[in-house]
Homo-oligomer: A and B are copies of this chain.
Amino acid sequence: MANSLSGDSVVDRVVRVISAFPEGSGSLQLSELATRSGLPLTTAHRLVRQLAAHGLLETGGGGTVRLGLRLWELVNRNSPTLALRQAAMPFMEDIQQVLNQNVNLAVLDGWEALFVERLSRRGSVANRAQIAGRMPVHVSSAGLALMAHQSKAVQGEYLAQFVDPDGKVTAETVRTLLAETAHTGFAQLAGVVDPDTWGIAVPVIDSRQHTVAALGVVVPLHEVRLQALVPALQTAARGVARRLRDSAP
């Protein structure tokens, strides 16, 4: 039992170390990593050494630590999002080519939209490598498209705990947004990251009527082809769902 208890704690510490890197940080100083993990420096140092021996972390000059190439490889050769991304990619490329818009693919994780793939319009490729970003449900069209098609129980749970950190939006407003999204079959929202853009997203609904992803575009506010964009997205979302079904074991 002592082993088991000790084991629990080590697993927890490993997770804390791996999770301690803030988004896009690259490398951290060991002391900062220890602080962020809530671990004593000696414990952090020992764990980093052990994880680095397996390639899950990498240590550099000046006491810096970063996630290891081996960990990146392990996760990406076996990504939990691989089947979804493979099914979606041809359709995302179609949208990018035909509409020349930024295209994204998100899944619901907790009360947030997690972006698992992104294609930028030609000429704005800088963000393409940055995936794995998150947005709260109520401020992203992808989040609304995902949540609007969850069960009433899940939606109820979400709304019951909803608090806008900015104090601007009430749960009732979000409820109305979700109802509108469910009714129209697509979500649209003025850009939060970039106020000069709209986000538009539609759900990808699998054969069991589960909403497994949201497919969306980010378009300039002056974009007037909304009536053309939505059916194109909906058609693509049906194609993604069909490919997911065909590729299921």
Contacts and interface: CB of A to CB of B under 8 A. Distances in A.
A10 interface: yes
A151 interface: no
Interface in A78-128: 78-83, 85-86, 89-90, 93, 97, 107, 109, 114, 116-117, 122, 125-126, 128
A77 interface: yes
Contacts of A7: 6, 10, 46-47, 50
Contacts of A69: 80-81, 107, 109, 114
Contacts of A157: none
B129 A72 contact: no
Interface string A11-39: 11011001101111110000000000000
Contacts of A76: 72, 75-76, 131-132
B11 A78 contact: no
Contacts of A18: 56, 71, 74
Contacts of A70: 109
A51 interface: yes
A68 B131 CA distance: 16
A72 B75 contact: yes
Nearest to A88: B129
A26 B132 contact: no
A66 interface: yes
A6 B8 contact: no
B97 A129 contact: no
Total copies of the chain: 2
Contacts of A130: 77, 82, 86
A4 B46 contact: yes
A54 interface: yes
A3 interface: yes
Contacts of A10: 6-7, 10-11, 14
A86 B120 CA distance: 13
B72 A67 contact: no
B131 A26 contact: no
A63 interface: no
17 contacts: A6-B6, A11-B54, A12-B50, A26-B83, A66-B80, A67-B74, A67-B78, A67-B80, A68-B80, A69-B81, A70-B109, A71-B75, A72-B116, A75-B75, A76-B132, A77-B133, A117-B129
